[in-house]
Chains A and B, each alone.
Chain A
Amino acid sequence: GESVGLHLPTLSVQEGDNSIINCAYSNSASDYFIWYKQESGKGPQFIIDIRSNMDKRQGQRVTVLLNKTVKHLSLQIAATQPGDSAVYFCAENNGDYKLSFGAGTTVTVRA
């Protein structure tokens, strides 16, 4: 069967390497997904979003992949930098602006 990326609460990555953060969502009717970055003591910051009619979207150094079949979302960060150290949350939106957040992954970048 198709493999699904495992959600890990923490991820340690060497500076310059690529990071992959996984998320499983719960509602098959969700039509919009967002990745947020949260630094300590701050509110979430938008990274990238994707609508359910797409399976991939690229931004600057980031790529989001959506697999609706297994309800899985991933965020890929290219050439991870120290400033990327933060907690990353995926969120799903059901069309009424209310967001449901995933558990979060703490990314630590090693110099």
Chain B
Amino acid sequence: GAVVSQHPSRVICKSGTSVKIECRSLDFQATTMFWYRQFPKKSLMLMATSNEGSKATYEQGVEKDKFLINHASLTLSTLTVTSAHPEDSSFYICSAPGTSGIRSYNEQFFGPGTRLTVL
């Protein structure tokens, strides 16, 4: 149990287009999800907190108009990179807190990530 999926796993797009990345909790509900960004050989940087039924909260320095987040249901959050440019190329990872029944304290489940390449 407690699996998080992402779709697509890899996407290549032209500069100026928008790209939508989906994050789903497959067997549990998540009122909160998190989006991270990771550059090659770097650590994960928290971008925003996705809240079901309300606006996302963004970390300092993250453009909310650039990275649109929609948490439409208890199992789905989407991240849309608008008017993508080469500098937006990165590995985007989502996570959701849940419980596996083994560990129950602030356990986070991570998706497999989405590799975005903007040409």
Interface residues on B, range: 20 to 34
Contact A97 B111 (CB under 8 A): no
**Beta-carbon contacts under 8 Å, A89-107 to B:** 89, 93, 95, 97-104, 106
Distance between Cα atoms of A46 and B103 in the complex (Å): 11
Which residue of the partner chain, among A43, A95, A98, A102, contacts B49 with CB atoms under 8 Å? A98
Interface residues on A, range: 20 to 34
**Beta-carbon contacts under 8 Å, A65-88 to B:** none
Distance between Cα atoms of A70 and B105 in the complex (Å): 24
By secondary structure, the B interface counts as strand
Contact B93 A44 (CB under 8 A): yes
**Beta-carbon contacts under 8 Å, B77-91 to A:** 91
Which residue of the partner chain, among A41, A42, A95, A99, contacts B108 with CB atoms under 8 Å? A99
Q: A42-B113, A43-B113, A101-B45 are known; give 12 further A-B pairs, CB within 8 A.
A: A36-B110, A41-B91, A43-B112, A44-B110, A46-B107, A49-B103, A89-B44, A93-B106, A97-B108, A98-B34, A99-B34, A106-B41
17 A-B pairs within 8 Å (CB atoms) are namely: A41-B113, A41-B115, A43-B6, A43-B95, A46-B107, A49-B103, A49-B105, A51-B105, A89-B43, A97-B32, A97-B34, A97-B106, A97-B108, A99-B46, A100-B46, A101-B45, A103-B43
Residues of B within 8 A of A (CB): 4, 6, 32, 34, 41-46, 49, 91, 93, 95, 97, 103, 105-108, 110-113, 115
